[in-house]
Amino acid sequence: MNAIQGARLLLLRGLYQDFHCGPSVSLSSSAVAVKAEKLGFMKLYGSNVIAVDRNRKSLAFCGDDVRSSFFKPMKANKDSDASLTDDCRAFSGKNLHEISTVGKSTNIMWHECSIGKLDRQELLQQKGCVIWITGLSGSGKSTLACALSRGLHLRGKLANVLDGDNVRHGLNSDLSFRVEDRAENIRRIGEVAKLFADAGVICIASLISPYRKDRDACRALLPEGDFIEVFIDVPLQVCEERDPKGLYKLARAGKIKGFTGVDDPYEPPENCEIILQQKGKDCVSPRDMAETVISYLEEKGYLQA
């Protein structure tokens, strides 16, 4: 054994004492094998330069002949159902029968992960769902959404708001307010809301969504019960008097075309889960409306896993 090889062995012995990397360690002058039960198997060849930093507890391998092979991939905790497969069939192309076409997307395949919605819900201690707040402009949808988000946050529950105007600042900025673009706006928000619900998050979508068929299409994306439609039933006259954005005034003046409630229809829900109704000028506070929705969530078991 020459001096350089002896120095390498001393370095590796010192590393093993510091890190205790596995139950089996063997050292030799020409090759070093470090075997860890759950991490795999690595070979270090004698021509490599090895550097150890004890303070940072790191190991560096340098040289042209650095090679490693992991015969078994790292496995998850034995208590978990999740594990990494050691079956190469996942890459063999033997699942071609699952290749599909969806819309204009061809040659695609759904990839299922070992951690699913139930696992995420257990982690968050809540059930993912979509609360879809619909109503005329000026009815108080965004105000309710924020009050609801705050009420859930104070209870330690994770929620996120998809506000119609906010989404049009980014994802849907390419869409106008024509009928076909409104339908696409709702479709996209419905798909995003579905992803949030699948992540175990309580998703609060607040937007006019004037057409019943578009709202029903979003409902159909989720399992039964996970789409909670909240209709803020405020008379058009009251909404016009509020006119927080000045849009009714512009619509009446003909400066905005296709404005819901003025020259474009609003189709109220027929079988929604919650109706928050305002008659006359008596206004229920946003906090009280939020508590009504939260009570529904508690009753249906969405605030626990």
Q: In this predicted model, which residue has the larger pLDDT, 38 or 101?
A: 101
**What is the overall mean pLDDT for the chain?**
80
Could you tell me which residue, 203 or 61, shows the higher pLDDT?
203
Q: Which of 16-25, 86-95, 228-237, 294-303 has the lowest mean pLDDT?
A: 16-25
Residue 8 pLDDT exceeds 60: no
Rounded to whole angstroms, the Cα distance separating 244 from 136 reads 12
User: Catalytic residue at 209?
Assistant: yes
**pLDDT > 90: percent of the chain:** 64
197-222 pLDDT per residue, tens? 999 999 999 999 999 999 999 999 99
State the pLDDT confidence band at 62, using cuts at 50, 70 and 90: very low
Nearest to 294 by CA among 191, 162, 140, 144: 144
- Letter for the amino acid at 282? D
Dihedral sign from CA coordinates of 45, 48, 54, 58 = negative
d(CA 86, CA 104): 34
Please compute the mean of the pLDDT values over residues 101-113 and round it to a whole number: 92
Active-site residue, from 114, 209, 285, 295: 209
pTM assigned to the model = 0.70
The confidence score (pLDDT) of residue 97 equals 65
Q: Kindly indicate the confidence band of residue 98, based on its pLDDT and cuts at 50, 70 and 90.
A: confident
Per-residue pLDDT tens for 63-84?
Answer: 444 444 433 444 444 444 444 4
pLDDT in tens, 156-203: 999 999 999 999 999 999 999 999 999 999 999 999 999 999 999 999
d(CA 17, CA 37): 17
- The residues, ordered by sequence, that sit 6+ positions from 45 with a Cβ below 8 Å of its Cβ are 30, 31, 65, 66, 67
Dihedral sign for Cα atoms in the order 253, 254, 257, 262: positive
